[in-house]
Structure 1
Amino acid sequence: MLRIVSLQLIATVVAGAIAALLGGWAAMVSAVLGGLCCVVPNGLFALRLFANAQRLGQANPMSFFIGEFIKIAMTLALLFAIAKLYPDLNWLALIAGFIVALKSYIILLFRH
């Protein structure tokens, strides 16, 4: 799980660099923020799963579903907060950064 989260972070940085070349500073910040809306909840979810797996008898499907619900709610909250708090938001870059981070795990599928 750590590999996936680190790959998402790397993909977010690459998306931010490409957005900076294409759209400037505001596009880069928007792309990075969009990617972080995916990376931060996934990282916290992975940490929670790892902590639950370390405790004996605590890894159950219900904790997975609760963690997944929290992850989705956190993602939506971060997207909403960025939309309200960042005045120079470039929506195309934000969505592109989010999608790149979200789908970056596909790279790991083609690695082996």
Structure 2
Amino acid sequence: MLRIVLMQLVAMVVVACTAGLLGGVSALWSALLGGLCCVVPNTLFALRLYISARKPEGANPMTFLFGEFIKIASTLALMGAVVWLYRGVNWLAFVLSFIVVLKSYLILLFRHRP
């Protein structure tokens, strides 16, 4: 799980730097904030699952379901907060960064290990 979160952080930085070079400071901040809207809830979810799996009785499906619900709710809350607090959102950078970070785990999924 840690590798996925690290991959998402790397993807967020790459997309933010690219957006900054192509669209300026507003695009850079929008891409960073869009990526953080995905990375922060995923990190909290991964920590919750890790802690739950370390218990003697192990992880339970309700922990996963509840954690997923909290992850989605916190993602939407963070996105709403960004839109409400940062008036100069570059929508293209914000949405593309969110999508790239959200789907960056595919890189790890298809990575071949000998």
Whether TM-score is above 0.5 comes out as yes
Match of 1:83 in 2: 83
**Structure 2 CA distance, aligned partners of 1:63 and 1:109?**
24
1:21 equivalenced with 2:21 (yes/no): yes
Following superposition, the deviation at residue 59 of structure 1 comes to: 1.1
Code of the residue aligned with 2:17 in structure 1: it is: A
Normalising by structure 2, report the TM-score: 0.96
Instruction: Give SS of 2:111's match.
Output: coil
**Structure 2 CA distance, aligned partners of 1:108 and 1:39?**
16
Within a 5 Å distance, the mapping from 1:50-89 to structure 2 comes to 50-89=50-89
Match of 1:32 in 2: 32
1:107 equivalenced with 2:107 (yes/no): yes
Normalising by structure 1, report the TM-score: 0.97
Code of the residue aligned with 2:77 in structure 1: it is: A
- The alignment of Structure 1 onto Structure 2 pairs a total of residues equal to 112
Match of 2:46 in 1: 46
Instruction: Give SS of 2:56's match.
Output: coil
Code of the residue aligned with 1:4 in structure 2: it is: I
Query: Structure 1: 5+ residue runs without aligned partners?
Result: none
> Taking every aligned residue pair, what percent have the same amino acid on both sides?
63
Following superposition, the deviation at residue 88 of structure 1 comes to: 1.2
Following superposition, the deviation at residue 110 of structure 1 comes to: 2.7
Following superposition, the deviation at residue 33 of structure 1 comes to: 0.5
Following superposition, the deviation at residue 47 of structure 1 comes to: 0.2
Aligned CA-pair RMSD:
0.8
**Structure 2 CA distance, aligned partners of 1:50 and 1:58?**
10
**Structure 2 CA distance, aligned partners of 1:44 and 1:13?**
19
**Structure 2 CA distance, aligned partners of 1:13 and 1:29?**
11
Which ranges of 4 or more aligned residues in structure 1 deviate by more than 6 Å?
Answer: none
Instruction: Give SS of 1:111's match.
Output: coil
Code of the residue aligned with 2:3 in structure 1: it is: R
